């Protein structure tokens, strides 16, 4: 398809540009390397993929992105050369950046020098400050959208899901827009964002650059959403002595859960960072240690570090003494009491969303057969297995891959933007049906999770209209987080909803089930056993995740 797109694009732009290889593919479009025929300069040509050009909302966003680039003239924001609409594509033309993204730099170097961190963060903050002053918030600040030229200049790109605060029509109620690794808590919980949401994303990036590690442990978007809302990252103790306390304070302020606890605006952040940058330039030594203004080594971070170690050691000795005495007195092992105090895992959140569109017309039967009551029908050939033996994600997957009838009539289709992904690439799904029906879409991940892609808590209605394409997410795309392996998406369509999962986990806007949630796995089995499998058509689609 990419070669076909390149040929069409060359026919459209051939009088001015020589369209060469595709250099990027995402959920919303593709980017091609081009050469200006007259000037001989390299350009990047971004197109909106053909199947999305008929969606008026997505088309409006693409056009608005071009307008934003044209109006936001700042040395740290990539500028636009050209924009146009043709029968096959809408396209934008940008300068080709000789350099790398911050994502690539982090992958190559890990932890980045403090001086370079400050330069990058200040540059991005200046761009976001300028955008905010022009009533624009980015909403998708992440390392892959930050570009570093060979001369060291830093640019921010991809305003595709940015929001003009003067335009109230471009964000649908209940949608979550942004990348799971850098999305703010308020975007997860309420879907709302302002410039302080961009501050949060920049703070996560700052943490990642300073420490060389992402602050949260989860890899799936569901776990990341939960972490953003509930977990407070801590700078590793081995890193603390190497950076100024003021930097730690700034990072903690940027990633505060409450937006009101962050900086009033980006200019306030820039002022504080600039002071630290000046001190770094004046007193940074070759040995990599930081010094006070008098030129002496600052002893406070190391003092706190050693004090913490001493207190921790004393605490460990007291705990060991307590258990030794307890064992002497009771002659029992205390493991039972410890096990009773282990907190039960909290269900995490799902990473997907869909527009809340319901069928207004009467839903027609998808299969005309003699119907029996639901209670008389078994869910699968494993009906008689003991419940305890089925309570795992792998067993549920086996059940669902044999539940219902294969959709040989083409009632509905499941789409995906690629068949093979590398970790860090973007992924997007779609659903389309030839007649009004109800659809459920489940993703069995390489992380041994069941993620309900459609419907979700924000949009619990599973009815879809014939001829409409439903994109998941409804805007933008999600990052592939891995681990590597084969993932399976299974969908069911019918005249009634196949409601297998609850849609109201506490503090979780999406729905995910793992082996740590046996009660929800049991609920899925019971609900399958209460449904007539002949009333549902099944489709599956696989895709590969690679580390290479």
Active site positions, annotated = 140
Residue 42: exposure state from Cβ atoms within 10 A (0-12, 13-18, ≥19): middle
Q: Give exposure, 79-113, as e/b (b: 16+ Cβ within 10 Å).
A: ebbebeeeebbbbbbbbbbebebbbebbeeeeebe
Paired tokens of 544 = 């590969």
Residues 6+ apart with CB under 8 A from 52: 28, 29, 58, 59, 471
Element (H, E) at 441: strand 437-444
Measured between alpha carbons, how far is residue 545 from residues 184, 541, 542 in Å? 26, 13, 10
440 and 466 Cβ atoms separated by less than 8 Å: no
Residues 6+ apart with CB under 8 A from 240: 248, 301, 304, 305
189 and 507 Cβ atoms separated by less than 8 Å: yes
DSSP 225-261: HHHHHH------TTTGGGS-HHHHHHHHHHT-SSGGG
**296: DSSP letter:** S
Q: Please, which residues bridge with residue 437 across strands?
A: 464
Paired tokens of 120 = 């990058």
Angle of the 114-133 helix axis to the 266-283 helix axis, nearest 10: 160
In the block, residue with structure tokens 């006070």: 292
Distance CA(359)–CA(493), nearest Å, equals 13
In this structure, the number of other CB atoms found within 10 A of the CB of residue 261 comes to 12
Q: Look at residues 53, 55, 42 and name the one whose alpha carbon lies nearest to residue 84.
A: 53
Collapsing DSSP to helix, strand or coil, 409 comes out as coil
347 and 512 Cβ atoms separated by less than 8 Å: yes
In the block, residue with structure tokens 């570009």: 147
């Amino acid at each position: 398809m990419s070669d076909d797109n390149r040929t069409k694009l060359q026919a459209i732009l051939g009088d001015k540009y020589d369209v060469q290889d595709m250099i990027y593919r995402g959920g919303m479009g593709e980017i091609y390397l081009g050469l200006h025929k007259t000037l001989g300069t390299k350009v990047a040509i971004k197109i909106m993929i053909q199947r999305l050009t008929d969606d008026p909302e997505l088309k409006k966003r693409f056009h608005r992105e071009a307008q934003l680039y044209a109006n936001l003239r700042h040395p740290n924001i990539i500028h636009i050369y050209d924009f146009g609409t043709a029968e096959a594509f809408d396209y934008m033309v940008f300068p080709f950046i000789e350099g790398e993204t911050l994502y690539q730099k982090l992958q190559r170097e890990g932890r980045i020098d403090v001086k370079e961190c400050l330069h990058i963060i200040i540059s991005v903050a200046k761009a976001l400050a300028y955008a905010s002053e022009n009533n624009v918030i980015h909403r998708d600040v992440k390392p892959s959208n930050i570009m570093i030229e060979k001369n060291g200049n830093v640019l921010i790109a991809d305003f595709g899901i940015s929001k003009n605060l003067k335009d109230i029509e471009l964000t649908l109620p209940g949608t979550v827009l942004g990348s799971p690794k850098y999305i703010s808590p308020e975007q997860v919980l309420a879907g709302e964002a302002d410039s302080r949401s961009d501050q949060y994303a920049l703070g996560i990036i700052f943490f990642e650059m300073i420490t060389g590690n992402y602050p949260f442990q989860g890899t799936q978007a569901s776990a990341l959403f939960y972490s953003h809302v509930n977990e407070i990252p801590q700078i590793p103790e081995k890193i603390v002595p190497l950076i100024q306390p003021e930097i730690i304070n700034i990072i903690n302020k940027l990633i505060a859960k409450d937006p009101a606890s962050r900086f009033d605006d980006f200019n306030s952040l820039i002022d504080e960072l600039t002071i630290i940058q000046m001190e770094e330039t004046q007193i940074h030594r070759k040995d990599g240690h930081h010094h006070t203004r008098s030129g002496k080594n600052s002893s406070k971070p190391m003092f706190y570090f050693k004090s913490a170690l001493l207190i921790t050691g004393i605490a460990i000795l007291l705990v060991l003494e307590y258990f030794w005495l307890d064992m002497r007195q009771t002659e029992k092992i205390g493991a039972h009491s410890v096990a009773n105090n282990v907190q039960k895992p909290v269900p995490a959140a799902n990473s997907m969303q869909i527009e809340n569109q319901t069928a207004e017309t009467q839903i027609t039967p998808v299969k005309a057969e003699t119907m029996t009551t639901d209670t008389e029908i078994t869910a699968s050939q494993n009906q008689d297995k003991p419940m305890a033996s089925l309570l795992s994600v792998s067993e549920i997957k086996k059940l669902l891959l044999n539940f219902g009838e294969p959709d040989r009539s083409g009632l509905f289709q499941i789409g995906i933007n690629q068949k093979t992904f590398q970790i860090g690439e973007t992924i997007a799904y779609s659903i389309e049906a030839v007649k009004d029906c109800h659809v459920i879409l489940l993703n069995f991940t390489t992380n041994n999770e069941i993620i309900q892609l459609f419907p979700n808590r924000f949009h619990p209605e599973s009815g879809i209209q014939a001829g409409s394409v439903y994109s998941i997410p409804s805007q933008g795309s999600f990052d592939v987080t891995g681990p590597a392996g084969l993932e399976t998406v299974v969908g069911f369509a019918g005249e009634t909803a196949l409601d297998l999962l609850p849609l109201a986990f506490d503090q979780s806007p999406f729905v995910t089930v793992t082996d740590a949630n046996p009660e929800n796995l049991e609920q899925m089995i019971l609900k399958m056993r209460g449904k007539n499998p002949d009333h549902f058509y099944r489709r599956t689609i696989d895709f590969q995740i690679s580390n290479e």
